[in-house]
A = this chain, B = another copy of it.
């Protein structure tokens, strides 16, 4: 990924680490795989993996070539005005996904997830721990994990219907139309009344 400020001679080591990481995540899942193990597979010191790639999340993001900034930007949105969060999340989401070059690595992950349980597990663990879990902690309510998984269900549905199956008119609707139409659903999932089925304590069941 990033090439700035590194000597060309290091690229072999970086590639070996990324390759080991891909095998480790695919073989053992996101949760089970460790930096130590990836280092051993690549024949390098764990400190070097940390030096090049940072945390396990950073390594995963680099290995599967997910554009990293959107995830951090997503989580940063939660700390701002919560009453407009649904709309802001969706605006950011569409601006990232409407750029075709951002899509292919994540579509490749989804493609594996629908055909293999191991890939589905890896995607599930990554989304749960590193995206939804962090947003849920920012939200800080007892039912936050239910709320963030509802948001995820609508966003994954947009990925599938706008970019994969390409259902019209949703596939070519301007993003403002979708933000106006779908933003309020995300807002309700995040902060609204989820109905009588969720108890008064707001706990996810």
Contact = CB atoms under 8 A, between A and B. Distances in A.
A23 interface: no
A113 B127 CA distance: 22
A113 B165 contact: yes
B196 A180 contact: yes
A145 B168 contact: yes
B170 A146 contact: yes
B145 A153 contact: no
Interface in A17-72: none
Contacts of A188: 184-185
Given A115-B111, A164-B120, A205-B174, A182 B169 contact: no
A150 B181 contact: yes
A180 B198 contact: yes
Given A124-B165, A128-B168, A180-B196, 4 more contacts: A146-B177, A155-B157, A157-B160, A179-B197
Interface of A: 107, 110-111, 113-115, 120, 123-124, 127-128, 132, 145-146, 149-150, 152-158, 160-162, 164-171, 173-174, 176-177, 179-185, 188-189, 194-198, 204-205
10 contacts: A114-B114, A114-B164, A146-B181, A149-B168, A150-B182, A154-B154, A157-B157, A176-B197, A177-B197, A180-B198
